[in-house]
């Protein structure tokens, strides 16, 4: 067989194999380069996004800490159309526009107060540069006012508060041959939240900030539901408690029919160097522990000044002239006395209220600005009509409210806890005694308070620290989840982002 026709085949096969190997090598080089470029692009994009988020947080920090909301003669809320979203300025429909604070050249700033606009459009607020390794990342941001409410009066306050929602947008960019651009958006809002989320809350961060013993319990009821036997129907749930510190329970059957919320963790012995969530020699928390992300801060209430007129039930009514100056009237009856503002539901300005000599004090609906309230013996504080609000100044410190005699009686049979409110801004002490008709709210975030007597309290309480060692049952009104509202802390949410 002749082989002359097969000469050169080996060379051809070698060339084919070399070509295939070359293609594979080039492909591997290309894939390697692609991975390098992809990693570089991802790094640049991440750095640009970090810059955009820095601008977002800078703008949020300005609005939370520096910005002055509309109000007053120089920037009246009435100049804005708050019924539109985004909010429009001016209120006239023919020439209105969105309200925008901007340091972004592509979005024009038109905030009506030039000083606010200038403060936002400054380095390291609305725009700036941050360094990420050897790369400089620029950011520009703007904020659009999407909602504003000006007639909301928070619980414990006497004047309306402006509540706003902003839509923040920030662009982070890296310039150069291989650049990157990312836009981040989020909503900055002030949520309106219930003040009384818990049956009892203690703001102190110490051990035993919240104490239940002697069979003390919590549960819940619905004040809008029908009564049974003249009293609310309670349920063994939603009697939640909370504290910035530690809950201590002892005695049997001490039961929290709900959850314990606290920033602390762990169950066991509590000390100043190791504050646990719950210390229990006996007792039950049926809903378990909920760890809060941070301590809860309750704003100090605004308490108007008290007057100079003392009321002592055993001494009868003061002179009509004195009552006129105090803004009310006094009516004697069966040895007791009754107070009522001159204007129904109005305000009386008094000093110290003292229930002595087995004489009761009757109050009509209204607001009473006082210094202290003391009730001892078998005397009672009787609410003839509601709501009754006690603004307590407690300038002398010590025990500023003591309702430990015959307790509180609400003759209206109204189990809405807003029918009786005690507000106190100071650091004194408060002692309450429950009963079949003890219905109310205590808001004293800086004060120590306690319950006395094996009885009932319908409503909720907030104080620095609380002691319930007398077996008082705190019945939480579930309607408080949508009433007695306050402005919560600013929140950033609804994040989104996109790249270019």
From first to last of the 500 residues of the chain, give the pLDDT tens digit. Answer: 555 566 677 777 777 887 788 778 777 776 666 655 566 677 888 888 889 999 999 999 999 999 988 887 888 999 999 999 999 999 887 789 999 999 988 888 899 999 999 999 888 889 988 887 778 899 999 999 999 988 888 898 888 888 999 999 999 998 876 788 999 999 999 999 999 999 999 999 999 999 999 889 999 999 999 999 889 999 999 999 999 999 999 887 899 999 999 999 999 999 998 999 999 888 899 999 999 999 999 999 999 999 999 999 988 999 999 999 999 999 998 889 999 999 999 999 999 999 988 889 999 999 999 999 998 888 899 999 999 999 999 998 899 999 888 888 888 888 999 999 999 999 999 998 877 778 999 999 999 999 887 789 999 999 999 999 888 999 999 999 999 999 988 999 999 988 76
Q: Please report the pLDDT score of residue 56 as a whole number.
A: 94
Q: Apex CA 466: angle with CA 462 and CA 472, to 5°?
A: 100
- Residue spans of the domains in the chain: they are 34-194+488-499, 200-486
Q: Please report the pLDDT score of residue 31 as a whole number.
A: 67
Structure tokens at 175: 């310039």
pTM: 0.84
Q: Please report the pLDDT score of residue 334 as a whole number.
A: 81
Q: Which residues pair with 231 in a beta bridge?
A: 228
Q: Please report the pLDDT score of residue 32 as a whole number.
A: 62
């Amino acid at each position: 067989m002749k082989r002359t026709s097969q000469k050169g085949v080996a060379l051809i096969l070698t060339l084919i194999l070399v070509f295939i190997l070359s293609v594979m090598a080039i492909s591997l080089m290309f894939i390697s380069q692609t991975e390098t470029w992809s990693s570089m692009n991802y790094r640049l994009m991440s750095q640009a996004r970090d810059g955009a988020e820095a601008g977002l947080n800078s703008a949020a920090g300005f609005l939370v800490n520096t910005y002055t909301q509309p109000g007053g003669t120089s920037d009246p809320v009435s100049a804005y159309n708050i019924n539109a979203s985004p909010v429009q300025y001016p209120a006239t429909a023919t020439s209105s526009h969105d309200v925008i604070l901007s340091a972004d050249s592509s979005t024009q700033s038109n905030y009506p107060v030039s000083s606010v606009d200038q403060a936002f459009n400054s380095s390291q607020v609305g725009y700036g540069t941050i360094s990420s390794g050897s790369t400089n990342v620029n950011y520009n941001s703007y904020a659009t006012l999407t909602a504003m409410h000006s007639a909301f009066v928070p619980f414990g306050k006497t004047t309306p508060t402006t509540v706003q929602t902003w839509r923040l947008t920030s662009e982070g960019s890296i310039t150069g041959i291989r650049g990157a651009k990312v836009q981040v958006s989020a909503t900055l809002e002030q949520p309106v939240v219930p003040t009384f989320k818990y049956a009892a809350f203690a703001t102190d961060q110490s051990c035993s900030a919240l104490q239940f013993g002697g069979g003390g319990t919590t549960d819940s009821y619905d004040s809008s539901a029908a009564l049974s036997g003249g009293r609310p129907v309670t349920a063994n749930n939603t009697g939640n408690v909370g504290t910035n510190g530690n809950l201590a329970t002892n005695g049997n059957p001490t039961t929290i029919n709900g959850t314990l919320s606290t920033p602390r963790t762990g169950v066991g012995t509590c000390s100043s160097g190791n504050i646990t969530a719950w210390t229990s020699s006996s007792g039950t928390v049926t809903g378990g522990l909920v760890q809060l992300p941070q301590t809860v801060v309750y704003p100090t209430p605004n308490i108007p000044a008290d007057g100079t007129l003392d009321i002592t039930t055993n001494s009868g009514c003061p002179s009509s002239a004195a009552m006129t100056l105090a803004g009310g009237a006094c009516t004697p009856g069966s040895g007791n006395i009754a107070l009522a503002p001159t204007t129904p539901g109005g305000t009386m300005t008094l000093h110290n209220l003292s229930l002595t000599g087995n004489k009761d004090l009757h109050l009509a609906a209204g607001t009473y600005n006082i210094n202290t309230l003391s009730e001892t013996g078998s005397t009672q504080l009787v609410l003839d009509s509601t709501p009754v609000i006690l603004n307590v100044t407690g300038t002398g410190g010590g025990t500023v409210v003591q309702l430990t005699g015959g307790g509180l009686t609400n003759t209206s049979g109204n189990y809405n806890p807003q029918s009786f409110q005690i507000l106190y801004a100071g650091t004194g002490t408060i002692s309450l005694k429950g009963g079949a008709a003890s219905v109310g709210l205590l808001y004293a975030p800086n004060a120590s308070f306690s319950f006395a007597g094996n009885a009932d309290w319908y409503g909720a309480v907030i104080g620095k620290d609380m002691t319930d060692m007398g077996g008082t049952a705190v019945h939480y009104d579930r309607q408080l989840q949508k009433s007695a509202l306050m402005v919560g802390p600013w929140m950033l949410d609804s994040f989104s982002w996109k790249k270019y």
